[in-house]
Structure 1
Amino acid sequence: MENIRKAMENLNRSMSEGSQTRLIPFEDFLKILTEKPAYAVRNVFQIFHDMIRYYVGEGVDEYPDDPESIEYASYDCTRLFVEDVDHPFFADRLFANRLITLAEALKRGAQQNKIYIFDGPPGSGKSTFLNNLLKKFESYANIDEGMRFETVWRLDQNMLGSFSSQDANPLLEKLSKLLVNHVPVNESTIKDNDADPNEKNHSFYDNQYPLYSTEDYIDIPCPSHEYPLLIIPKRHRRQLLDDLFQNDEFKWKLFTDKAYQWVFRDKPCTICSSLYQALLNKLKSPEEVFKMVYVRPYDINRRMGEGISVFNPGDRPMRQIVMTNPMLQKRINDILKDSNQVKYLFSRYAKTNNGIYALMDIKSHNVERLIELHNIISEGVHKVEDIEENVNSLFMALMNPEDKKNILGLQSFSDRIEYIQILYVMDLNTEVEIYRNIFGKHIDDSFLPRVLHNFARVIISSRLNTRSEALLGWIGNPDKYSRYCDKNLQLLKMEIYTGNIPKWLSEDDRKNFTAKVRQKIIEESESEGKKGFSGRDSIKIFNDFYSSCAREDKLINMSVLCNYFTKLRPDLSKSIPEGFLESMLHMYNYTILQEVKESLYNYNEERISRDIQNYLFSINFESGAVAKCNYTDEKLEITDEFLWGIENRLLGGGTDEKKRLEFRKDTQKEYTSKTLTQEILVEEKNIIETRLYTDLHDRYVYNLKEKVLDPFLENENFRQAIKDYNKEEFKTHDKRIREDVTFLINNLGTKYDYTERGAKEVCMYVIDQDLAKKFAKP
């Protein structure tokens, strides 16, 4: 029995901790406001933005110094959609950027008074997305970082006069409190006599404001969860805030930023405004009125419909349209001695005021609910009998394409609808993460590197449009990249969707890859991802592929992959664009050739650096000049032959004279206009830290790597040494070959995650397919 009693005491203590909501006086709330203003002044739109940023963080731009960047960043949505959820949702890069854009717009206050409909085909994960989003919104709103405040009126009966004692019944009073708060008893402000006075909830003020309940007051929570500052009459708010804050950055934002216009514009709910006026009439002093205004955290509870309400199409409309609390209404009337001053009436929309109201699919009863939202969204008010009720909620909905017909008749509502596309995944890295999540990360061990991602490319190819005006307008003739890309340029688009700019693009095309071109390509994604293999389809196909092709003694290679789609499952080929598999194989060949070259590359970095520094110094002199380089201290005889020798490594041996001179002129212009004057003289950077140096270094190394395999391809012993690697026969090979092969195999493992067996297989493949000659520059 002693163990049971102790166990129950510990259980009671742990469950009670954080279950009580403390009330703080309005004046103390103002103190919190001045100490943490950005934290304490937030509406639902700002809290939604902060929640997204809290879980997602800052994006990563792989090309931070690119002047043509459109800020198409990589956002890690794992904490938001994957961790601590029942069913993970994987947001690809395209959707993550849409979501961040939406959050930023909401924070600025630019797109309020709208309903945000997440639109997408079946199988795109809309329901999973919204459920996870609401779960994290609820979690965030109930921790210190996401805390907001709501108003509770505490009417002092000693000051206002008490009601008749026979009306008081402790049981009914508690029931009244339960009905008013719409939360379980242990979350109300009522405290049992034997409750633990040391219970905690929100840490930064709990210990200062203990719970208590006496017959000296009655608590009237605002059913609309009104923000406390709005109780102050509009004409006095600016003066109060001006007095509260020093002239700092937040005060400037508060008074000038559109995101905070609601602080000065919005009205309090009808119940709060009528209470304020009634008390002012009775007490004759605003100061005495505000002594009866208390504040508590706005606790979100989806299951109770507090702060979040979600309606499925099959949920029938509520019978009770108008809500009230007769007992509390009677107590208000008794204490104010007037039955008409304060009407404690509200609707279900009050429960999600400054929260989220969501509709799962616009069909059946949810069509009626959407129509009902028309005036509410347009005007921000809702009629409850003869009372106007404020509704400032974040309205969300999900919709399948076929359900759009249900709202075609609402033309006047169309400008209040903001569509955000949730489409099939078009980022191949995200597609692979889905496979790893469902089937386990160990699946990588069954594939040669890049083959798993190529499976994802095949799936995604069915979701993309076969013609891209944006890519054709930029690239022109796709045939020039036939060795690396398909005729529809889908492989190129997939790389761009992942944030990667392929290295096989020509210099001219890279230069023409402007912000305008990038924006057009990303905009095309809005019309893609609506057809082809759905998310459910791709999981079934991968399961069949993996079950059929995975072997313990052999890694899955490109031959196995292509064979599956062409011979084992020819039915799937109908959804794959013609020629895509062959083009993908070409790109794979090119990629692994670059990996082998990169892994074999072992040039003298010091010599490369000196060449580039000498070149940047020399292009500022006339031909025939002799000068000492400021960067390397080498005495240089600057001739056209000297410059040509370095330019040959920077541009490749086949570059004609005109392009070579144009390159030299452009480089000299950038050096004098930015590198020297800005980065070196003003920012005091070392020459090797400048952007121009980095670009030239990458060019130099790239062209050296193009020829790195040439000496080995003509040596049959090199091929045999790869086969013999880690065998007894390997010791019989020449020491230099052994060193080169060991260097190659080790680099493939450390740089590209090849196993020893995989590295040997890919090296043999590159040699036997003669890929170096196939991809040699003409």
Structure 2
Amino acid sequence: MNKIRKALDNLNRTMSDTHPNELIPFEDFLKIMNEKPHQVIRNIFQVFYDMIRYYIEEGVDEYPGDPESIHYVYYDCNRLFVEDADHPFFADRLFANRFINHIEALRRGAQQNKIYIFDGPPGCGKSTFLNNLLKKYETYANTPEGMRYETVWRLSRKALGSYHNHNNNPMLDNLYRILSVTSPAKETLDVNNEERPNEQEEAYEEDLYAHDLQEDYIDVPCPSHEHPLLIIPKRYRRQLFDDLFENDEFKWRLFTDKAYEWVFRDKPCTICSSLYQALLGKLQSPEEVFKMVYVRPYHFNRRLGQGISVFNPGDKPMRQSTMTNPMLQRRINEILRDSNQVNYIFSRYAKTNNGIYALMDIKSHNVERLMELHNIISEGIHKVEDIEENVNSLFFALMNPEDKKNIHGLQSFSDRIEYIQILYVLDLNTEVEIYKNIFGKQIVDSFLPRVLHNFARVIISSRLNQKSEALLEWIGDPSKYRLYCDPNLHLLKMEIYTGYIPKWLSDEDRKSFTAKVRRKILAESETEGKKGFSGRDSIKIFNEFYSSSARTDKLINMSTLCNYFTKIRADLSESIPPGFLESLLRMYDYTVLHEVKESLYNYNEAQISRDIQNYLFAVNFELGVKETCPYTGEHLEITDEFLWGIENRLLGGNVSDARRKEFRSETQKIYAAKTLTQEILLEGTPIVDTQLYQDLYERYVYTLKEKVLDPFLKNENFRQAIKDYGKDAFKTYDKRIREDVTFLMNNLSKKSRYTEQGAKEVCMYVIDNNLASKFSNP
């Protein structure tokens, strides 16, 4: 029993700490505000902005020194949309930037009521996005970082001299209670055809009423969750803040920033205004009135419609449009002795005032709800019988393209609608993350590197426009990048959408990739992602592909991928741009060929350096002479064969004699005019640091890498040794072959992150598909 009591005590203490319900006097609230003004003085727009920034940190710019940057950065949205979510929403880079830009504009601009409609095709994840967004907002709003305060009036019977002090006159007491029953609040219930209480309920209410008369005070919560600062009359607020805050940065922002205009502009709800005026009339002292003003944390609960209300199209409208609390109305009337001063009536919009009101799809009953929001969004006011109710909420809605007809013709409403597009994913990294989330991260182990991302490229290609005017204007002739890209430049656009600037772009195109060009390319994304394979389609296609292709003894390669889209599911190729698969395969083949070549390259760097230094010295002499190179100290016999041997590595073996002589002459002129006279003699630059040496070194290494596979392709033992790598049979091969294969496997693992199995299979792919010959004359 002691353990149970201890456990319950700990639970009670923890839950009490998590959900403090104690009312705070207005004076203590001002102290809290003085200590944490940034947190306390916030409306729904500012809190929503702070919530987004709480979960999404500053964006990462992969090219911080780029003068043409347009701040198209990477935002990690996982904490907002993925973590702790039953159904994660993966925001691609395009949507994340679009969303953050809207959030920044929401906070910067003069805040007015608008409805933010998230517009997108079916299957793009709109519902998942909004549900996760609202869930995180509810979580944040109920934490110390997101806490806000609402007004509660604590009406003191003693201070107001309640009728309770004269209860020795039963006749007057009965007369007053009869008048209370016929209060406007009770009449409201009758008008709405609500059933009258039966005798038992009336008796129960009478008992409660009698008990209420014994209490020292009654608490009247503001149904509109009004910010406590708004209780202060507008003309006195600036003076209060001037006295309360030091002349610091926050005070300057409070008085100048548009985000804080609401503090000086907004009025409290009608109920709070009525209570303030009624109390001031009785107490004749603002100080005494504010002693009855208390605050408490504004707790959000979507399921109860408290602070967040979400309506689905099938949710029927409420029968009762006006709400009240008859018992509380009687208390107010009794303590103020006047049934006309404060009418405690409100609408359902009060429950989400300073909160979020959301419509899931504009169809069926939600069309009616949207029409009802017309005047509310325009004026920020809702009429509840005779009183005006403030409505300062964030209004969200989801809409499919075909539902736009439901709001067609409402021109006066259109300027109050802010569309934010949620489209099919166009960022290939995000598309891959979706597969990993649904099917497990282990799926990566079933693919050769790049193949999984290439599957995502195929899916995304169906969502892009056929032609890109912005890319064609920038690149000009796409054929110059045929080894890396497709004729429609879709592969280039996908890289740019991920925030990556490909290294294979020429220097000229890289320089002309200006901010203006980038904005044009990104602007095209607004018209893409509306067709092609939807999110649900892509998951279904991947599931079928993976289930039929994944094996334990072999990794999925590009041949498997292409075969799936061209033969197994040839019907899918109708949605893929013509020639895209061929270009994707060519890009992949060219890339992996160079990976293998780079990993097999094992030439002596010191020998390369000596060859280039000897060559630079030798081209200055006639053939047949013997000289000692001052850079290497080697004795050289300068013959055509000597020069040809080095030129073969610099230019390749298929170059004509005329081209060799031309290259030899050009090199000598540059060496004599610039390298020797200016860089070496005048500036004292070592020969290995001169520009000519660096150019020849890069050319030498490139040519060696291009031809590095040639000796091995003709050796069947080399191919078989790769297959036997890691097995006992590998020990039977010649030492040189074992060293070369081991060197190749290790480099593929270190430089390109291949597993041992992946390294073996990619080498076999390169050899069996004869990729070296395929790209021998690119």
| TM bucket, shorter chain | 0.7 to 0.9
Q: Which residue of the partner structure matches residue 541 of structure 1? A: 541
Q: Which residue of the partner structure matches residue 710 of structure 2? A: 713
* Per-residue CA distance 1:334-387 (angstroms, 9 max, x = gap): 222332322222111111011000001101111111111111111111111121
* Per-residue CA distance 1:539-593 (angstroms, 9 max, x = gap): 1111111111111111111001100111111111111111111011011123323
* Cα pair distance change 1:603/1:17, threshold 3 Å: farther
Residue identity matched to 1:542? F
What is the distance in 2 between the residues matched to 1:470 and 1:636? 44
- Secondary structure class of the residue paired with 2:415: helix
Q: Which residue of the partner structure matches residue 140 of structure 2? A: 140
What is the distance in 2 between the residues matched to 1:764 and 1:474? 38
- Secondary structure class of the residue paired with 2:66: coil
Q: Which residue of the partner structure matches residue 651 of structure 2? A: none
Query: What does residue range 529-678 of structure 1 map to in structure 2 within 5 Å?
Result: 529-597=529-597, 599=599, 635-636=684-685, 642-648=690-696
1:226 lines up with 2:250 in the alignment: no
Greater shift in the superposed pair: 273-282 or 495-504 = 273-282
Offset of 1:392 from its aligned partner?
Answer: 0.7
What is the distance in 2 between the residues matched to 1:512 and 1:57? 31
- Secondary structure class of the residue paired with 1:395: strand
Residue identity matched to 1:493? K
Query: What does residue range 284-433 of structure 1 map to in structure 2 within 5 Å?
Result: 284-433=284-433
CA contact (8 A) 2:45 2:111 kept: no
Offset of 1:214 from its aligned partner?
Answer: 8.3
- Secondary structure class of the residue paired with 1:561: helix
Offset of 1:647 from its aligned partner?
Answer: 4.2
What is the distance in 2 between the residues matched to 1:259 and 1:465? 39
Q: Which residue of the partner structure matches residue 18 of structure 2? A: 18
What is the distance in 2 between the residues matched to 1:730 and 1:20? 71
What is the distance in 2 between the residues matched to 1:511 and 1:297? 55
Offset of 1:69 from its aligned partner?
Answer: 1.3
- Secondary structure class of the residue paired with 1:509: helix
* Cα pair distance change 1:749/1:236, threshold 3 Å: same
* Cα pair distance change 1:335/1:307, threshold 3 Å: same
CA contact (8 A) 1:722 1:763 kept: yes
CA contact (8 A) 1:163 1:331 kept: no
* Cα pair distance change 1:338/1:773, threshold 3 Å: same
* Cα pair distance change 1:330/1:88, threshold 3 Å: same
What is the distance in 2 between the residues matched to 1:598 and 1:282? 89
Offset of 1:140 from its aligned partner?
Answer: 0.6
Q: Which residue of the partner structure matches residue 726 of structure 2? A: 726
CA contact (8 A) 2:157 2:216 kept: yes
- Secondary structure class of the residue paired with 1:485: coil
Residue identity matched to 2:296? R
What is the distance in 2 between the residues matched to 1:295 and 1:629? 82
Residue identity matched to 1:710? K
Q: Which residue of the partner structure matches residue 82 of structure 1? A: 82
Greater shift in the superposed pair: 559-568 or 263-272 = 263-272
What is the distance in 1 between the residues matched to 2:253 and 2:468? 43
What is the distance in 2 between the residues matched to 1:407 and 1:706? 65
Q: Which residue of the partner structure matches residue 752 of structure 2? A: 752
What is the distance in 1 between the residues matched to 2:214 and 2:770? 89
Residue identity matched to 2:430? T
Offset of 1:751 from its aligned partner?
Answer: 4.1
CA contact (8 A) 1:157 1:216 kept: yes
Q: Which residue of the partner structure matches residue 39 of structure 1? A: 39
CA contact (8 A) 2:675 2:692 kept: no
Residue identity matched to 2:331? R
- Secondary structure class of the residue paired with 1:154: strand
Offset of 1:738 from its aligned partner?
Answer: 4.9
What is the distance in 1 between the residues matched to 2:482 and 2:112? 48
What is the distance in 1 between the residues matched to 2:439 and 2:27? 56
Offset of 1:459 from its aligned partner?
Answer: 1.1
CA contact (8 A) 2:679 2:690 kept: no
What is the distance in 2 between the residues matched to 1:622 and 1:7? 85
CA contact (8 A) 1:713 1:767 kept: no
Offset of 1:635 from its aligned partner?
Answer: 3.2
Residue identity matched to 1:265? R
* Cα pair distance change 1:603/1:317, threshold 3 Å: farther
- Identify unmatched segments of 5+ residues in structure 2: 168-172, 186-212, 613-669
* Per-residue CA distance 1:261-309 (angstroms, 9 max, x = gap): 1111111111112222222222222222211111111100111111101
* Cα pair distance change 1:355/1:40, threshold 3 Å: same
What is the TM-score with the length of structure 2 in the denominator? 0.80
CA contact (8 A) 2:478 2:487 kept: yes
Q: Which residue of the partner structure matches residue 126 of structure 1? A: 126
Q: Which residue of the partner structure matches residue 615 of structure 2? A: none
* Cα pair distance change 1:413/1:602, threshold 3 Å: farther
* Per-residue CA distance 1:172-204 (angstroms, 9 max, x = gap): 9xxx9xxxxxxxxxxxxxxxxxxxxxxxxxxxx
Greater shift in the superposed pair: 104-113 or 583-592 = 104-113
What is the TM-score with the length of structure 1 in the denominator? 0.80
1:494 lines up with 2:494 in the alignment: yes
Which of structures 1 and 2 has the bigger CA Rg? Answer: 2
CA contact (8 A) 1:597 1:706 kept: no
* Cα pair distance change 1:482/1:30, threshold 3 Å: same
CA contact (8 A) 2:427 2:497 kept: yes
What is the distance in 2 between the residues matched to 1:604 and 1:144? 63
CA contact (8 A) 1:51 1:140 kept: yes
CA contact (8 A) 2:375 2:381 kept: yes
- Secondary structure class of the residue paired with 2:685: strand
What is the distance in 1 between the residues matched to 2:215 and 2:681? 90
Query: What does residue range 246-285 of structure 1 map to in structure 2 within 5 Å?
Result: 246-285=246-285
1:53 lines up with 2:53 in the alignment: yes
Q: Which residue of the partner structure matches residue 458 of structure 1? A: 458
Q: Kindly report the root-mean-square deviation, in angstroms, between the aligned alpha carbons of the 2 structures.
A: 3.3
CA contact (8 A) 2:680 2:687 kept: no
CA contact (8 A) 2:558 2:585 kept: yes
CA contact (8 A) 2:599 2:748 kept: yes
CA contact (8 A) 2:34 2:245 kept: yes
* Per-residue CA distance 1:663-684 (angstroms, 9 max, x = gap): xxxxxxxxxxxxxxxxxxxxxx
What is the distance in 2 between the residues matched to 1:227 and 1:76? 32
* Cα pair distance change 1:753/1:284, threshold 3 Å: same
CA contact (8 A) 2:675 2:691 kept: no
Q: Which residue of the partner structure matches residue 662 of structure 1? A: none
- Secondary structure class of the residue paired with 2:705: coil
CA contact (8 A) 2:600 2:708 kept: no
1:156 lines up with 2:153 in the alignment: no
Greater shift in the superposed pair: 386-395 or 596-605 = 596-605
What is the distance in 2 between the residues matched to 1:289 and 1:437? 57
Offset of 1:763 from its aligned partner?
Answer: 2.6
- Secondary structure class of the residue paired with 1:146: coil
* Cα pair distance change 1:6/1:255, threshold 3 Å: closer
- Secondary structure class of the residue paired with 2:362: coil
Q: Percent identity of the aligned residues?
A: 74
